[in-house]
Amino acid sequence: MAEVKIFSGTNSQYLAGKVAYYYGKELGKVSIQRFADSEISVNYEESVRGCDLFLVQSTFPNADNLMELLLMIDAARRASAHYVVAVIPYYGYARQDRKDRPRVAIGAKLVANMLTAAGADRVMTLDLHAGQIQGFFDIPVDHLEGTSVFVPYLKEKNIDNLIFASPDVGGVSRVRRFASFFDADIVICDKQRKVANQIASMQLIGDVKDANVVLVDDMIDTGGTICKAAELILEKGAKSVRAVATHPVFSYKAHEIISNSVFEEVIVSDSIPLRQDNPKVKVISVAELFAHAIGRIRDNGSISTLFINYQQKLKF
């Protein structure tokens, strides 16, 4: 069987190192240099001929992260790698998954095209903003779920009278899946926007009186939406509010907004590195989850065995 090697782009080394550790390998050596005009050059410092390569790189801003990944894939192909897997814990541009108004780009599809054109054989990612993005690829996509790490954490806290909430109508299916592991009810925050990142109005659908509520989303960007939803939930009589969000984008003043919020805690993964410490933010690593997924691919095993399904929920 081909040898497995794990490499990382510049800004995902904090996670890739842990993935390699859990897999039982040293992180591979790759040189990523920049010319004076910021042009990127990639060079593998060890042979990858005939190897199965797993290239770990989240595509969070700025665009250099995506460009690094594309160049790493291309360099691997030109160095005669046997199999190239793009491991993308956070898939950027996923919010641009459709034409929701005239004359806009579908960024998620464009990124899929570029990854395929660069030479990736497979993509592995975590909690896409929209699950249908998997269909943008003509190569296999392994879509891992944050429930695998978040549900056990919440189970251990043994929170009583638990209700799960969606900060918008589009996240209902995600919240319903979380709630199924706890036999809990769900509520929905129905929001209206006039422009991106600005909420015109919000109302709560459902009863949260005397409940401990967990808001569930795939990402937190500026923090405005989810913090406003938390305030609304408390106003409606909830005892406490927590948040679970896989990707801590945390743009603009998100850290400040969350620090001053009514949340008891905000639970996120390390798919994106936190820019600063925040006492309200609890980070749960997905490194071991990705390491197990790499092992399944290596051994032609089942990725679905890494998911928590409804029948397994009572085992936690």
Find residue 54's DSSP bridge partners: 6, 85
- With 0-12 / 13-18 / 19 or more C-beta atoms within 10 angstroms meaning exposed / middle / buried, residue 211 is buried
Q: Please give the Cα distance from 10 to 13 (Å, whole number).
A: 6
- With 0-12 / 13-18 / 19 or more C-beta atoms within 10 angstroms meaning exposed / middle / buried, residue 138 is exposed
- Phi first, then psi: what are they for 209, rounded to 5°? -55, 125
> Which structure tokens are listed for 144?
């891992």
Q: Please give the Cα distance from 165 to 250 (Å, whole number).
A: 20
Residues listed for the chain: 316
Active-site annotation holds for 18 = no
Q: Please give the Cα distance from 294 to 289 (Å, whole number).
A: 9
**Choice among 5, 29, 155, 191 that is catalytic:** 191
Q: What is the DSSP string of 92-106?
A: TTTT--S-SSTT---
Residue numbers annotated as active site = 191
